[in-house]
Structure 1
Amino acid sequence: MATQLAPAPALPVSIEDVHTAHRRIADSIVRTPTLISRTLSQMTGATVYLKFENLQFTAAYKERGALNTLLQLSDEARRKGVIAASAGNHAQGLAYHANRLGVPATIVMPRNTPIVKVVQTQGHGADVILEGDTFDAAYAHARLLEAERGFSFVHPFDDPRIIAGQGTVAVEMLEDAPDIDTLVVPIGGGGLISGMATVARAAARPLQGVGGDAEWYPSKVTRRNGTHNPRAGDTLAEGIAVKEPGGITSEMVRALVDDIVLVSERSLEEAVSLLLQIEKTVVEGAGAAGLAALLAHRDRFQGRTVGVVLCGGNIDTRLLANVLLRDLARSGRLARLRLRLQDQPGALFNVARIFDQERVNIIEVYHQRVFTTLPAKGLITDIECETRDRAHLDQLVAALRAAGFDVRPVEHA
């Protein structure tokens, strides 16, 4: 008689949970579009569909899980109110829907949270408490207030109700683009990818689920591989910069997710810039991690039909400007050239004449006479300029050198 295998243990969230969540929240969230990107498809060799979750009212998918959780609270829990620790999209999503439902909301944020995020969360009717210098300190204080005041704590990712709500993103994607065979999802605490992988695994045909993890916070990769790689940094993808994934989400990721790939800061910046240039849409660093994974690992996805979630669009405008300028510098369209000149009349004029001949626009000129190792009659001039492309910049440098100038590009990030 054949040995009968024991059934696999049930996971905390089922496909029925996700579909129930979708019916529960569908009337109160934006059904964001899933659109093909022909340009990104040509660039990557995959057929690329984008899910624009940055078009939710609070500009992030986090509303889904927050609302699904709020709608399952008892009347008494709603009366006492909810509390969360967050400095980002979870705070705004929870505050917005709690206010809409008449549920008091308290959000504990680290003291160094950017003021714009504090103001936006308060604008949704939440009571914001600034506590501690780190998320861990804010989290500990939120749990203390939960116990003291009888609040219901709403975790940003490690809760079956949150996971089921986030999984509704995949339900809509696969309804709108049924040819998708691979989902590429930013992965931080794991709530979004756990919910979406639940939908992928339940599909009638094989679907892959792949997570895009920030290189500076590889906690999901290290846990999955059983390695130890404690890194940290000021990543552009702060929304997925989670040092320790959740217990529930780790179990689900281990069971359901096919692969996790790391993305560098440069790939994240490239993805944010491309989405603005090509799709005319603003996406934060964490929200662009799925596309960054696709760009950085093209061979992994070539020939597949890929669904990428643009999961958030809350990026500081100054940071966005910096990302775009750095991208221009990498492409050669914006450059800083350092020239060594003799300190005599006409030296700068002779340089400017070559810029004019090559039809290169000069943006800024910096003279340096004091803080240099050159002789007293020597000087360094940095010229910021705008060119058509890398070939145009190379043509300018060649012309300057042909005229006898000592010139070199100043390195960019």
Structure 2
Amino acid sequence: MSLPSLGMKRRDFLRSMLSSAVALTLPGLSRAAFAGENDIQVAMTPGLVNEAATRLKGHVLRTPLVDGGLLSKRTGTNLFLKLENMQYTGAFKERGAYNKMATLNPAERSRGVIAASSGNHAQAVAYHATQLGIASAIVMPTVTPHSKIRRTRNLGGDVIVHGEEFDESLAFALEKAEQNGLTFIHPFDDPLIIAGQGTVGLEIIQDLPDAEILLVPVGGGGLVAGCATAAKAINPKLKVYGVEAAHYAAMYQMLHHQPVKTGGETLAEGIAVHTIGRLPYAIDERLLEDVLVVDEEHIALAITCIWAEHKLVSEGAGAVGVAALLQYDGMFTGKKVVTPITGGNIDARLFATLLQRDMYLQGRLTQIRVVSHGGHADVYPDIATVLNRTGAEVVNLEYDPIFHASSPLSTAYELIIETRDEKHADAVIKELNAAHFEAVRVR
């Protein structure tokens, strides 16, 4: 579905819902579609962000800005982290959602609101609509994890699962809004949403007036637009960069006059957006220095580094600022850099896998096979004695009397052990062989 296919009545309705002359961004738009900005009233000002900040007091957490500690040393910067993962719903999206819904008049509140989202925006709308006494419906794609659907319902949202992708959910939500007179709460293409998200940047520059670099995740572009508007109004010397995942680099492609091609799996699903909002783009084109594109390996590394150095949980989208510092090593050496950890809603199993994978890459997890000859049914206690003596810890154990035993009188064990490093693992294997076991590294 594209904007020209909509009738005038639908188009006028959408614009009125968005409370601005900003047209809805739908799939298939390229940078050329934004070339004529005379038809857009760019209604975003620092004043709107200040108004949002006043509105949010007592309803959204003013999150701390913390020193990057060892991450500063690792990245060669003077790093600070803005902890938006500490919000009640675990992400910054609360700011824009509350700011928008708090401005609705009594009639709009009584009719209710609707949104389309597969994650943080859904939870933010559901939670704050409930707090404001507004009924909310959230359209979520069929691929949305059950945990996110359950949490959105628990926060008070009436969840409608529809569409294989976000774009289908979005179209369905807009139809429901028109049919039932609901107010559509856009995730990024609305000045009140952008102003609410911009309070992140306002708080950063209030807490650290001499910040030099701001790295902000980019999905639809609303957060970085709001942050740049607020922060650069106070500190014009501040340089603001967007950060996108490589498979969803629409903003980078548009700014660099490239065809927009997006899609694929990413750890940063929170910013896996196919299109940039029309209003955010009009702002970002003027205010951003550039957009940095990060790959999946560095996103994974950033998630584990944030945990290792700060014991903070970050989802992939929330970690891309740190990922940019790791991938673009030396680009900001010695600079005072700030990046928001925009959310902490990562799947628990994925998070555990990433931590273990990182330990493997560091040489701290090793898979070994230990074979015992001589017909003893269970010699694991003897193996454990050697492991305890060497200081290795068993993470996983599998008994294998069939596939890797060299004879009917042999017994094999597959073990994953945790060691200090690869040299330590080599020493453990040597000790096991010295104790008359046949021990080899599998991986």
Q: Tell me which interval the TM-score lies in, with the shorter structure as reference length.
A: 0.7 to 0.9
Compared CA separation, residues 57 and 351, structure 1 to 2 (3 A):
closer
> What secondary structure, in the 3-state scheme, does the structure 2 residue paired with 1:27 have?
coil
The alignment partner of 1:309 has SS state of strand
Note closer, same or farther for the CA distance 1:220–1:376 as it changes in structure 2 (3 Å cut): farther
The one-letter amino acid paired with 1:331 is Q
Equivalent in 50, 53, 56 of residue 81 of structure 2: 50
| Closer/same/farther in 2, CA of residues 39 and 338 from structure 1, 3 Å limit | same
**Equivalent position of 1:108 in the other structure:** 139
Q: Distance in 1 between the 2:368 and 2:292 partners?
A: 36
State the distance in 2 between where 1:366 and 1:34 align.
Answer: 45
Please say if 1:166 is aligned against 2:229: no
Q: What secondary structure is seen at the aligned counterpart in 1 of 2:253? A: helix
1:97 aligns with 2:147: no
TM-score normalised by the chain length of structure 1: 0.87
Structure 1 residues 224 and 363: alpha-carbon distance in aligned structure 2, compared to 1, 3 A threshold:
same
Counterpart of 2:112, as a letter, is G
1:208 Cα shift? 0.8
Q: Is 2:289 aligned against 1:258?
A: yes
Hey, what's the Cα distance between the residues in 2 that align with 1:265 and 1:401? 39
Partner Cα distance (1:351, 1:141) in 2: 60
Deviation at 1:310, TM superposition (A): 0.8
How many Å apart are 1:377 and its aligned residue? 10
* Counterpart contact for 2:215–2:240, Cα < 8 Å: yes
Match of 1:138 in 2: 169
The DSSP-based 3-state class of the residue aligned with 1:336 is strand
C-alpha distance in 2 between matches for 1:285 and 1:107:
23
User: What letter is aligned with 2:116?
Assistant: A
Measured in 1, the distance between the counterparts of 2:412 and 2:173 equals: 55
Task: Encode CA deviations 1:243-280: one digit per residue, 9 max, x unaligned.
Answer: 22222222222221112112222222222222223222
Contact persistence 2:266–2:296 (CA under 8 A): yes
Corresponding letter in the other structure for 2:424: H
Aligned pairs for 1:4-23 (under 5 A) are 11-23=42-54
- Counterparts of 2:360 and 2:346, CA distance in 1: 21
- The answer as to 2:425 corresponding to 1:393 is yes
**1:325 maps to which of 340, 356, 376:** 356
Q: Please tell me whether the aligned partners of residues 368 and 439 of structure 2 are also in contact (alpha carbons under 8 angstroms).
A: no
Is 1:243 matched up with 2:274? yes
CA contact (8 A) 2:373 2:437 kept: no
Between the aligned partners of 1:225 and 1:205, the Cα distance in structure 2 is 23
For 1:208 and 1:109, the matched residues in 2 are separated by: 35
For structure 1, the residue ranges without an aligned partner over 5 or more in a row are: 1-7
**Alignment size in residue pairs:** 402
Which of 145, 149, 154 does residue 118 from structure 1 map onto? 149
Change (3 A) 1:367 1:132: same
Which amino acid counterpart does residue 86 of structure 1 have in structure 2? S
> Could you tell which deviates more after superposition, 162-171 or 383-392?
383-392
CA offsets per residue over residues 318-369 of structure 1, 9 Å max, x none? 2221121111111111121357x69665898898787566442344344668
Question: Which amino acid in 2 is paired with 1:364?
Answer: N
Q: Once superposed, what is the RMSD of the aligned Cα atoms? A: 2.9
Contact 1:69–1:154 (8 Å) recurs in 2: yes
Letter in 2 for 1:315: I
Asked if structure 2 preserves the Cα contact closer than 8 Å seen for 1:200 and 1:208, the reply is: no
- 1:275-331 CA deviation, whole Å, 9 max, x = no partner? 223222222111111111122223111111011101111122222211211111111
Aligned to 1:309: 340
Give the 3-state SS of the residue equivalent to 1:298 in structure 2.
coil
- Paired residues of 2:372 and 2:379 also in contact (CA < 8 A): no
Aligned mate of 1:154, from 155, 174, 185: 185
Matched, 1:29 2:72: no
Please name the residue that 1:297 is paired with. Answer: 328
